[in-house]
Amino acid sequence: MDKTAADGPGVLPWSMRDIPYRNIDREALRDHAALFELLASASFIEMTSDLYTRNLVEYFRGDDAVVGWLTQHWEPEELQHGAALRRYVRTAWPQFDWTRAYQGFYEEYSRCCLLDRLATSRSLEMVARCVIETGTSSFYRFLANASAEPVLRELAGRIAADEVRHYKNFYRFLRRYREDEHPGRTAVLRTLCSRVSEIDSEDGYIAFKHVFTVRNPGADCARREYERFMRGIGGLVYLYFPSRMAVKMFLKPLDLPPLAGRMIGRSATTATRVVLRWRAHRAGASRGARRPAAALEQRGT
Ligand SMILES: [Fe+2]
Ligand SMILES: [Fe+2]
């Protein structure tokens, strides 16, 4: 059983008091617009976890184990991620009007976070949740690896550990639902692919748009600005994205036989590295950069 479930309702695995915000090295963050945009966007999405929880609770109504874990553990932990990131952003970039940007984000985002975005069966929705937690745990592991700022490394590391635990819980529920619903491997694969294609599309774009608009008053934020931003972080992603971990978590819901799982996992990890390398090359990243500071410097943001 996971740590939070064993600890009883409402017990968070760590507290914001554990994060030494006053020690943030602002010099290490100077001029790193991309890092700011990533963190502010992530804080918006995490802070809006109550919308997701409401939808999921409605969807899994009647399953007390799932609903209890969602409301007593998952939601408080996701909201803490948002609050902890918000505090980091406000401490590191105090000139940014977080509240105004978040209000704009919430108005737009709450209109598209609807029940009909959920999967057609409970087992497939658990597959979708595994994809989301794969994305978040990989993202925060990437941030922890890439950041030259020690407080951010610690915060991102703690959040990444939470997201991995969330994955394990959703996977545990998936195994239970799989016994009742027997979703075919093709349906699981289809769900995996459709959710992964959404990970860095609409949610990320809406968050980025509101961060950018408040940060750059009067500037027109077209989707190409978001694409520029994504291209700009390509070098960092290539250097620091935990490809093997992400691929392993992504493929697990397929429940492949061990040998096939290992072969497909190795091939998928290689393919992921090739795609990331190609994106990094396109972004003009230097192959020589290996240290976090060097990678951040070469961003030139
Ligand atoms: Fe989170
Ligand atoms: Fe999570």
- Per-residue pLDDT tens digits for 125-157: 999 999 999 999 999 999 999 998 999 999 999
Residue 231 located in a structural domain:
yes
Enclosing domain of residue 123:
30-299
**DSSP string computed for 7-64:** H-TT--SS-GGGS-GGG--HHHHTT-HHHHHHHHHHHHHHHTHHHHHHHHHHHTTT-H
Residue 12 located in a structural domain:
no
- Surrounding ion ligand 2 within 5 Å at CB are 133, 163, 166
Residue 9 located in a structural domain:
no
User: Distance, CA 35 to ligand 1 centroid (Å)?
Assistant: 17
The CA-based angle 33-37-43, given to 5 degrees, is 145
Name the pTM for this structure: 0.88
Residue 218 located in a structural domain:
yes
What mean pLDDT comes out for the span 246-255?
97
Residue 23 located in a structural domain:
no
Distance CA 144, CA 154 (A): 7
User: Distance, CA 163 to ligand 2 centroid (Å)?
Assistant: 4
User: Distance, CA 184 to ligand 2 centroid (Å)?
Assistant: 26
pLDDT at residue 3 greater than cutoff 60: no
CATH number at residue 47: 1.10.620
User: Distance, CA 163 to ligand 1 centroid (Å)?
Assistant: 6
pLDDT at residue 98 greater than cutoff 70: yes
Give the number of whichever ligand sits closest to the CA of residue 133: 2
Determine the distance from the C-alpha atom of residue 153 to the mean position of all C-alpha atoms in its chain, rounded to a whole number: 15
Residue 7 located in a structural domain:
no
User: Distance, CA 69 to ligand 1 centroid (Å)?
Assistant: 15
The count of domains in the chain is: 1
The CA-based angle 236-241-242, given to 5 degrees, is 160
pLDDT tens digits along 253-268: 999 999 999 999 999 9
Residue 13 located in a structural domain:
no
Residue 154 located in a structural domain:
yes
User: Distance, CA 284 to ligand 2 centroid (Å)?
Assistant: 32
Q: What's the pLDDT at 1?
A: 41
Q: How confident is the model at residue 165 (pLDDT cuts 50, 70, 90)?
A: very high
User: Distance, CA 288 to ligand 1 centroid (Å)?
Assistant: 32
pLDDT tens digits along 207-230: 999 999 998 888 877 678 888 888
User: Distance, CA 51 to ligand 1 centroid (Å)?
Assistant: 13
pLDDT at residue 205 greater than cutoff 80: yes
User: Distance, CA 136 to ligand 1 centroid (Å)?
Assistant: 6
pLDDT tens digits along 14-67: 999 999 999 999 988 877 788 999 999 999 999 998 888 888 999 999 999 999
